[in-house]
């Protein structure tokens, strides 16, 4: 196999490992938040994900630094893609100070400091 094809395969393997790692992180956060024992989810998931990714890097690179660099580049590319696909809230939602989420009207900006000042003014206790 040519060097270019090997590096392309290493990039792909790194991207697959990155998708596994960061997709698993997202899944862990979803499960951990709802769990009674989130530390078990987070620590266990970290150990599993990290060990599998490091083993994948080790076995695929086979001592070649160029393959390792290509794997890490693929891993980082996958990070960017997974974070953009999973972490981006929809443009129609904004966080409200009461903890809820409501639809956002076009042309309106949300300023939390302004909203907090308005709330404090409305709920001021007379002394």
pTM, full prediction: 0.65
Q: 56 vs 28, 40, 59, 72, 97, CA distance in Å?
A: 20, 24, 5, 11, 44
* Tens of pLDDT, residues 7-26: 999 999 999 999 999 999 99
CA distance 10 to 73: 9
Q: What's the full length of the chain, in residues?
A: 127
> How many structural domains is the chain composed of?
2
> Which structure tokens are listed for 73?
């580049």
**Percent of all residues in the chain with a pLDDT value above 70, rounded to a whole number:** 73
Q: Are residues 38 and 8 in the same domain?
A: yes
Task: Indicate the average pLDDT of the chain.
Answer: 81
Residue 127 located in a structural domain: no
Q: Are 110 and 104 in contact (CB under 8 A)?
A: yes
Q: Are residues 66 and 51 in the same domain?
A: yes
Q: Which domain holds residue 118?
A: 93-122
Q: Are residues 68 and 12 in the same domain?
A: yes
* Tens of pLDDT, residues 58-76: 999 988 999 999 999 999 9
């Amino acid at each position: 196999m040519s060097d270019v094809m090997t590096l392309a395969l290493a990039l792909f393997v790194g991207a697959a490992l990155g998708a596994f790692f960061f997709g698993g992180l997202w899944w862990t956060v979803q499960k951990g938040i709802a769990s009674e024992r989130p530390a078990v989810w987070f620590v266990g998931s970290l150990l599993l994900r990290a060990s599998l990714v490091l083993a994948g890097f080790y076995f695929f690179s086979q001592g070649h630094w160029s393959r390792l660099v290509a794997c890490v580049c693929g891993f980082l590319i996958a990070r960017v893609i997974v974070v953009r696909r999973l972490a981006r809230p929809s443009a129609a939602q904004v966080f409200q100070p009461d903890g809820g989420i409501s639809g956002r009207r076009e042309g309106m900006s949300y300023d939390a400091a302004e909203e907090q000042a308005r709330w404090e003014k409305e709920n001021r206790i007379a002394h």
